[in-house]
Structure 1
Amino acid sequence: MELRIFTEPQQGATYDDLLAVALRAEELGFGAFFRSDHYLAMGTDGMPGPSDAWITLAGLARDTTTIRLGTMMTSATFRHPGPLAISVAGVDAMSGGRVELGIGAGWYEAEHTKYGIPFPSTGERFDRFEDNLAIITGLWATEGDFTYAGKHYSVTDSPGLPKPTQTKPPVLIGGLGKKRTPALTARYADEFNLPFVDEATTAAQFARVRTACEQVERDPDDLVYSNALVLCVAGDERELERRAQRIGRDKDELRENGLAGTPDEVVAKARRYADLGSQRLYLQVLDLADLEHLDLVAAEVMPHVGG
């Protein structure tokens, strides 16, 4: 199982904060550094304010050398699909081919209202999401002019430039939708991710995605399956409580709903997710100043979960 680092900069982070985490994650051998794509903090003032996900990743593409970089998840409501395809391809080139695009339909209405972004109905957001997926992957793949007629976005005779450095940056889709999410995953995704859910929910949703793949005659094993969980690990109860308090959570609640406890407890839980088919864990790191947290995971968890 590969371990990746996942951050939430809208909660309060400068570029230098993110760079410090990315560099430590790279040094320690984590598989990737991902960041959220949000414009509004949740439950905090978020100072100094939000940053743009793809501008941040462009900087990290030049300031790191080996670690993979991505979003979890870029909101399809924030950007038009053609310009987003160009941005991702550009950052991929800047990184030497290390970028991954996690993308979703968008869900946080308040950030749309406060920053002047339209927030249509759920059905329309998913229609726009599907158009985004078709256009972005189509622009990257085309060897000539690309045309696509969608419900909300259409492209006519596009040259599909620039091309990413990778043949195709991996596309991640995630969520708990029972029909459209699995269907879109089967058609467009390279990885399916479940954020902050328990083992029973993981098993059920992975099964839906595998069924959706079979329905379009795609091998379900072509996909990577992953989970994202809040991270809170410590060598003893006092340190665990301190880490939990620093992120405004209760250590016992985190043991239940996150990836928390002693290294042995965390290894055991990670292995249970692996037994359900999860191949990657995205470790949501909320205290960006606590780089020793990453050191502990790299030393006492990573060697025992296979990556």
Structure 2
Amino acid sequence: MRFGLFIPQGWRFDLTDVEPADHWKTMLSLLHYADNAAAGEAVPGGPFAWESVWVYDHFHTTPVHSTEATHEAWTLMAAFAAASQRVRLGQMCTCMSYREPTYLAKVAATVDHVSGGRVEMGIGGGWYEHEWRAYGYGFPSAGERLRALDEGVQIMASMWRTGSSGTFEGQRYQVDGALCYPQPLQQLPVGADGADVPSIPLWIAGGGEKKTLRIAAQHAQYTNFDGSPEGFAHKSEVLAQHCKDVGRDFDEITRSANYNVVIGENQAEIDDRLAWIDAHYRKHTPEHAEGQIESWRSGPLVGTPEQITETLQGLKDQGLGYTITYFPNAAADRDQIELFQRQVIPELQD
């Protein structure tokens, strides 16, 4: 199993206790921590690697919009690329309709060069209605948003692999000869004959069973969907059937999931950390606090290192290949990150 780490960027009210002038310093410090771990260097908690760091592609805070800062994802990708050496860089996930796919392909290819070939392209249809309308995108139907996703990944893949979009006449996008030079540094075996060609790994995010998982079966190197044991098993079955239908080898796709992690050496520590989450959300989003707190308490990765390892081992046995973790209060307190890194990751890493 491989592991990624979300960097607090404000979207989840996770920079509220940091002075605005210190936001970048806080994010950069955690990036460097993960980058050193990716190199196998001795960092607090042990030398076990985080393979990647991640941010969200959102403009306003959730579960309610506010004037608290939310730092923009692709700006951070470029900054992270220049400020790190080893750790891979992703967003979970970029909203296809927030940027034209031609422009997004160009941005991602440029960041891939800045990073030395470390970009992961998480991509999805988008869902945050308030944000869509606030930024003037309207809010198309789910079908329209997924049509944009389907057409957009085809355009991006063409631009990365051949340097040009070619002529594409879709229902959502029409492009003719948009160029993408430089092409990505990364080489993936996605050519027509299985040969390596310039490309960036595509993570198709979302568990929609009729369309999203079919798009994933056609185009993804990675998926990202429900990480509960029951949900993961079901979505995996649906993805496998889509792969069969489109003639894709199911084992070519690495399945991933995102998790809120609350970890402690014992129940008292776990309770203290849940109490912090309770107080945090009651302070910043009192009208949504109950739902947020329940979501944290009922998550699959709440427990001691032994309990969390057991849960993840069961998911690994079901085919989970990549775990992306989000820790509360990571901006100020790395104790939980270090405990997870020290006692969970070594038990599960391939």
TM-score band by shorter chain is: over 0.9
Q: Mark the runs of 5 or more structure 1 residues left unpaired by the alignment.
A: none
- Over 3 Å counting, the alpha-carbon distance change for 1:44 and 1:293 in structure 2 is farther
Q: Distance in 1 between matches of 2:322 and 2:12?
A: 24
* Residues matched between the structures, number: 306
**Partner residue in 1 for 2:237:** 207
Runs of 4+ in 1 over 3 A off after TM superposition: 43-48, 248-256
Q: Distance in 2 between matches of 1:147 and 1:253?
A: 45
Q: 2:216 aligns with which of 164, 182, 185?
A: 185
**Partner residue in 2 for 1:239:** 269
**Does structure 1 retain, via aligned residues, the 8 Å contact 2:305–2:343?**
yes
Does 2:322 correspond to 1:280?
A: yes
**Does structure 2 retain, via aligned residues, the 8 Å contact 1:74–1:101?**
yes
**Does structure 2 retain, via aligned residues, the 8 Å contact 1:40–1:111?**
yes
TM-score, normalized by length of structure 1? 0.93
Which deviates more, 40-49 or 260-269? 40-49
Tell me the amino acid that sits aligned with residue 274 of structure 1: K
Q: Distance in 2 between matches of 1:290 and 1:265?
A: 22
Q: 2:339 aligns with which of 282, 296, 305?
A: 296
Q: Distance in 1 between matches of 2:146 and 2:164?
A: 28
**Partner residue in 2 for 1:172:** 203
**Partner residue in 2 for 1:25:** 34
- How many angstroms does 1:162 deviate by? 2.8
Q: Distance in 1 between matches of 2:304 and 2:65?
A: 31
- How many angstroms does 1:183 deviate by? 1.1
**Partner residue in 1 for 2:6:** 6
Q: Distance in 2 between matches of 1:114 and 1:45?
A: 10
Q: Distance in 2 between matches of 1:39 and 1:175?
A: 19
**Does structure 1 retain, via aligned residues, the 8 Å contact 2:77–2:90?**
yes
SS where residue 121 of structure 2 aligns?
Answer: strand
- How many angstroms does 1:200 deviate by? 1.1
Q: Distance in 1 between matches of 2:68 and 2:25?
A: 12
Q: For 1:169-211, what per-residue CA distance to the aligned partner results, in whole angstroms no more than 9, with x for missing partners?
A: 111012221111121001111001114x421111110111111
Q: Mark the runs of 5 or more structure 2 residues left unpaired by the alignment.
A: 16-22, 38-48, 187-197, 282-291
Q: Distance in 2 between matches of 1:20 and 1:259?
A: 25
SS where residue 60 of structure 2 aligns?
Answer: coil
Tell me the amino acid that sits aligned with residue 35 of structure 2: E
Which deviates more, 63-72 or 112-121? 112-121
**Partner residue in 2 for 1:305:** 348
Identity between Structure 1 and Structure 2 (%): 28
Q: Distance in 2 between matches of 1:48 and 1:17?
A: 16
Q: For 1:206-230, what per-residue CA distance to the aligned partner results, in whole angstroms no more than 9, with x for missing partners?
A: 1111111121111110110111111
Q: Distance in 1 between matches of 2:235 and 2:65?
A: 34
- How many angstroms does 1:117 deviate by? 2.7
Which deviates more, 64-73 or 208-217? 208-217
- How many angstroms does 1:118 deviate by? 2.4
SS where residue 112 of structure 1 aligns?
Answer: helix
- How many angstroms does 1:136 deviate by? 0.7
- Over 3 Å counting, the alpha-carbon distance change for 1:144 and 1:237 in structure 2 is closer
Q: Distance in 1 between matches of 2:154 and 2:127?
A: 20
